[in-house]
Copies of this chain bind each other. A is one copy, B any other.
């Protein structure tokens, strides 16, 4: 833990009001959206990159472990201070600093809220396309550190693709100013790619130049009820061959039931499917809408879709999306054990059926809820805790299940964390997706950026 003397030195760097060790603050700021327990020594809120650098330099001198903290919406414990670390919150470094209309770039401090960047882009007649349920509270610095994905990856890619430049305070306390918005810059190793997705283990993202793009026109969503997983994948192939999509999401009948019941929402269509798809596209003109309708009708004729509805207004578009976006928060009351898996899209059908088989054989009493970004190979597996089971026993049995699931995942060369990162919760599974050699190289690289090992120690790997 932190001595009083060091606490005072830190307070001198940022001002008394920008550091705290009050117990309720520690437990609030010391954790993310997982159920892990915070054990933070103090929380500090630097106001600018100079203060941030001074904190990191002091931490190097005094060998203080730091946990970078952004919107704390993570699901793998990457921002949890579990071992008495100093939490460094980027919350107050939240200005949008420079917009360039020709280059379509904007410089953001790390603490800018995702939704604020989206709104800013819209004011400029442009679009920031990385979007997900927690966009109202997640921060850009956290998005970059976890290479956030979300619901539009199919068309727009991950956060990685939207970073044009990064200003970082490395673990050694140096400022690294990379790329500066160039589209083309083949001058040695592309170091900024290492920081993207490093979960704060190499340094702090202080500032980022983000790319913006053309606003999509008249986004429209088609919800289809489908009879089976194989039908779902056929619908995906049929639509991908037939038109350009901006999103292709799915969820199960069980997920729909829980969301409509809990939130007292109407079911979207008459027929009951095993799964539902949300197919989003830009309805730029009538021809595109006709094409979507034709594809939908072909799916009905082939029996791979049972029913469906296309949004006719912005309100209907929002309410159809709500059925998908509320799933995660509605499921929270069942304290689900979550996995965020990906396999190559062509392997999904086989893989999902295998996972269901494993669970139904080893734990037939557990309810499984699937949803996610099936268009890009990424599914969210949620195993609900039965009421009669306590959380510890449930988690323990799910960990045993996980090992079985991951053995199969590894045979498909899949990812144990498609978009949520490794943090603390997925560390034991990292070896299913990355080889010993890769992990050894990561450790060697960390040593270059963070020689004293003060940056988020114990996250990703030990």
Give the interface of A toward B (CB within 8 A).
Answer: 100-103, 105, 146-147, 149, 153, 158, 160-161, 170, 174, 176-178, 180-191, 193-194, 196-198, 202, 214, 237, 244, 342-346, 373, 376-378, 413-422, 426, 430, 433-435, 437-439, 441-442, 444-445, 447-449, 460-461
**Contact among B103, B187, B190, B342 for A182, CB-based, below 8 A:** B342
Docked complex Cα distance between A434 and B180 (Å) = 11
Is the Cβ of A103 less than 8 Å from the Cβ of B345?
yes
**Which chain B residues lie closer than 8 Å to A214 at the CB level?**
244
By Cβ-Cβ distance, the 5 closest A-B pairs, closest first, are: A193-B193, A102-B346, A444-B448, A184-B418, A185-B415
**Contact among B178, B184, B438 for A176, CB-based, below 8 A:** B438
Q: A160-B190, A191-B438 are in contact. List 12 more A-B contacts (CB 8 A).
A: A102-B345, A103-B346, A153-B183, A176-B437, A182-B418, A184-B377, A185-B342, A186-B415, A186-B419, A187-B422, A189-B198, A189-B441
Is the Cβ of A178 less than 8 Å from the Cβ of B237?
no
Docked complex Cα distance between A244 and B213 (Å) = 11
**Contact among B158, B188, B437, B442 for A442, CB-based, below 8 A:** B188
Is the Cβ of A194 less than 8 Å from the Cβ of B190?
yes
**Which chain B residues lie closer than 8 Å to A438 at the CB level?**
176, 178, 188, 191
Docked complex Cα distance between A271 and B432 (Å) = 64
15 contacts between A and B (CB under 8 A): A100-B344, A102-B346, A147-B186, A170-B437, A174-B437, A183-B345, A183-B376, A183-B377, A184-B418, A185-B417, A186-B197, A188-B198, A189-B198, A444-B447, A448-B448
